[in-house]
Amino acid sequence: MAGRSGPSIQERLYPDLTCFGCGHANAQGLKLRSYPGDDAVVATFMPRPEHNNGLGYLNGGIISTVLDCHSAAAVVLEAERRGWMVPGEALMPYVTAGLDVRFLRPAPLTEPSDLRAVILAADEDEVTVGVELRWDGKPRSTATALWKRWRPR
């Protein structure tokens, strides 16, 4: 797998974003760190005790947030690679237009899970991403994320 060293996609391309999941400018946030991999964007997520679903597993809302924010890294990386990033535009030039999450099995609360995101379709105005959270070699949750270009008016 390509390197998980150096600045993450989030730290490099949108370091001032205050998003709860991926914003590194949010002191209380998850500060997700995603990296280009050989055939996907990859990350490792380590839950915190407060992410408990009440039964000792990772909360579904946190899972959805992580899947959404990890897919954002894949979108922005794709936009950078294709020359769709415009200097001076919004910190995040795309917004989530849809997130279809499937919870397949419980995800652990006390161990790291792996994330993987793949671009399924892309044009400058709309990007679709397949994303999953895996642990112990099995998908725990999957999602299809739809992102739309956002230009402030």
Q: What are the φ/ψ torsions at residue 65 (nearest 5 degrees)?
A: -60, -45
Task: Report if residue 101 sits inside a domain.
Answer: yes
Domain containing residue 113: CATH number: 3.10.129.10
User: What distance in Å separates the CA atoms of residue 143 and residue 15, rounded to the nearest whole number?
Assistant: 25
The pTM score is: 0.93
Task: Report if residue 68 sits inside a domain.
Answer: yes
Task: Report if residue 16 sits inside a domain.
Answer: no
Task: Report if residue 13 sits inside a domain.
Answer: no
Whether residue 133 contacts residue 114, with contact meaning beta carbons closer than 8 Å, is answered with yes
Task: Report if residue 19 sits inside a domain.
Answer: no
DSSP conformational letter for 64? H
Residue-wise pLDDT tens digits, 23-76: 999 999 999 999 999 999 999 999 999 999 999 999 999 999 999 999 999 999
CA angle 92, 94, 97 (to 5 degrees): 135
Provide the domain count of the chain.
Answer: 1
Residue-wise pLDDT tens digits, 122-150: 999 999 999 999 999 999 999 999 999 98
